[in-house]
Amino acid sequence: MVFESFTKKPFKDRLKDTGFLIKNSFTIIGKDKDIKTPTIHMIVLSTIITTFIYSAILTFFLRQFVMIGVLLLLLTFFILIPFRFFYNVRQKADQSWIVYNTVCGKDISYNDAHNHTKSEKGKLRIIAFVDIIMKYANSQKGNKKGIMGVLISLFLSFLNEVWDLLSHYMLPAIVIEQKPLKEIVPEIKSLKNNVPATLVGVFGIDFVGSVIGSLFGGIFFVSLLISVGIGYLIAMFTEVTVLTFGSFSFSWVPVFIMLFLVSIIGGVYKKIVESTKVIYFTIFYTSIMRPMNISQELRGELTNYLSMQKSDFTPQQQPTPNQQYINQLSNYIKQYETSGYSEQQIRQFLVSKGYSERDINSAINNLK
């Protein structure tokens, strides 16, 4: 098993973590506006799909242009929704590459990232195919009754969340390392053993899970009650667009508008959360596998971001910034020593990257 100690936090903590990461993800790497571009692309496609579905439903309610509504549904369910899996994975891969270059101090465009991930389309398609399979498997929860049904549902829920975590580690591994999947998976398995001391405990962070469903479930219920109440008032003045259940009548128009708006907002929020996960796991992957490539000016902020210690990325008074820098450098050196590099090789590499001999000596002394 890749994630032996995978655990789920309480909903309150998961919601807090999600809010923290959404708030700070685009702030800490706001140096490159292109990071937002894939998110916008995914939101646009999600909005188009939602609009097509509701437009089709509207034609059925109005009993006009029904054939157009049928065509919209066919287009949506047989073309756009399957296409969305592959499109979103590619956009997230583009985003991961932009984030990686940003934390390394480089400025690349969205087109540069899209051209880079073009060579990895085969691997990204595999991830998209597994996403489709997991989505289908997850939809089958509850089909079986009894104890066996409960066990299957629990297993599918666990499997779905583990795959969500694994796939978000695989994206940066694919776009950064550009290796075959059979070489990438063993490296991801070894990630946990190479986590720096400053980041212990965040490897298996589960900051989304069912937060979206729980959050929007409550919003949906309250909005439904309000829209039905408005529909009831409208029904007092007109019989047009009125539905009757027993003795209760209400206009379906406010309910329809409410469902459409909540679906749009939910889709936007979901894509923002997905992008937040891409940003987080790309930075985390880079901090473990390519720590020497991270821009020196961002290292302290990124460590705070990954460990979610402070919400505003304000520097802590203790230890001093220089001590934090030396401690981080010590972690990099320890990692490379574990990988088999000699002290002399590490010294030469760090000097070539612009580190001073004094800082290198201090970092090595920390390890003794």
pLDDT for residue 201 is more than 60: no
State the pLDDT at residue 115: 96
pLDDT for residue 336 is more than 90: no
pTM over 0.85: no
Degrees to nearest 5, angle at CA 225 with 222 and 141: 65
Average pLDDT score over residue span 67-85: 96
Give 311's DSSP letter. T
Residue of higher predicted confidence among 274 and 138? 274
Mode of pairing for the β-strands spanning 248-251 and 242-245: antiparallel
State the pLDDT at residue 355: 84
Q: How far apart are CA 60 and CA 44, in angstroms?
A: 25
Residue of higher predicted confidence among 9 and 82? 82
Name the H helices within the chain. Answer: 11-28, 36-62, 66-75, 81-103, 110-117, 121-139, 146-177, 181-191, 211-235, 252-289, 299-307, 321-338, 343-352, 357-366
pLDDT for residue 137 is more than 50: yes
Name residue 108's amino acid: I
Average pLDDT score over residue span 279-284: 86
Q: Are the CB atoms for 137 and 160 separated by under 8 Å?
A: yes
pLDDT for residue 209 is more than 50: no
Mean pLDDT over each residue of the chain, to the nearest integer: 81
Domain spans, the chain: 11-314, 315-368
User: Confidence band (pLDDT; 50, 70, 90) for 167?
Assistant: confident
* Residue 245, Ramachandran bin (φ over 0: left; ψ between -120 and 50: alpha; else beta): beta
The single residue listed with the structure tokens 């290292």 is 299
Tens digit of pLDDT for each residue in 237-259? 888 888 888 888 889 999 999 99
- Exposure of 215 by Cβ count < 10 A (0-12 exposed, 13-18 middle, 19+ buried)? middle
State the pLDDT at residue 198: 44
pLDDT for residue 149 is more than 90: no
State the pLDDT at residue 42: 97
DSSP string, 43-86: HHHHHHHHHHHHHHHHHHHHTSSHHHHHHHHHHIIIIIHHHHHH
Q: How many CB atoms lie within 10 A of CB 90?
A: 22
Q: What is the three-class DSSP state of 366? A: helix
Name residue 233's amino acid: L
Nearest to 299 by CA among 274, 276, 331: 331
Give 327's DSSP letter. H
Residue of higher predicted confidence among 117 and 220? 117
Give the bridge partners for 251, in sequence order. 242
Q: Specify the length of the chain in residues.
A: 368
Q: Are the CB atoms for 76 and 49 separated by under 8 Å?
A: yes
As given in the structure block, the two tokens for residue 202 are 């965040």
Tens digit of pLDDT for each residue in 92-131? 999 999 999 998 888 899 999 999 999 999 999 999 999 9
pLDDT for residue 3 is more than 50: no
Tens digit of pLDDT for each residue in 187-199? 776 665 555 444 4
Q: Are the CB atoms for 298 and 103 separated by under 8 Å?
A: yes
